[in-house]
Amino acid sequence: YIVTNNHVVDGATEVEVNFLDGTITAADIVGVDPDSDIAVLRVDLPTDRLFPVAFGDSDQLFIGQTTLAIGSPFGQRWTLTSGIISALGRTIQGLNTQFSVGAVIQTDAAINPGNSGGPLLNLNGEVIGVNSQIISRTRSNSGIGFAVPSNLVKRVVQELVANGRVNYSYLGIQSVSEEGIT
């Protein structure tokens, strides 16, 4: 299984995965969750050709901790940038959904278009988040990038693999006035 962002595969009818050794293979979309901006893909390769990375515990992160972001910004394949966690517990507007993603990681590691879906790593090489969004008026790194935290990713991936979708509980409030429902 491969984890990426939902907005990376949104609307795709075919998906290919490129590996560092030059292998390119088709992937199936196992499931997507627009509310967390996470998607899970499946590739059919022998296990000796796959080198999975471990998830870290995003509840143990701290501001100032060193981060490494991997991606292909602006089409430049296999790029690694470094930075720190500059804030925790941020909220970002979900893409292609009306809901926000909470408790995200803010980093100043350079995240640009093309980094989406790549891992945010700690110095132990553990995935602590999935790079998702930036704040920028120029669509390039302004030192404010966001990653979906690994503990949320683990929970979402587990449900996507098991069910192909994620079920959320929602609590809503509706008011009624003399003019009707608002």
- Give me the active site residues, please: 7, 37, 116
Six token digits for residue 8: 């990376």
Which residue from 81, 68, 79 is spatially nearest to 20, judged by alpha carbons?
A: 79
Residue indicated by tokens 């500059």: 86
- Residue 14: other Cβ atoms inside 10 A: 9
- CB-CB contact of 25 with 45 (8 Å): yes
> Cα–Cα distance between 88 and 6 in angstroms, integer?
22
Contacts of 14 (CB under 8 A, 6+ apart): 26
DSSP code, position 91: E
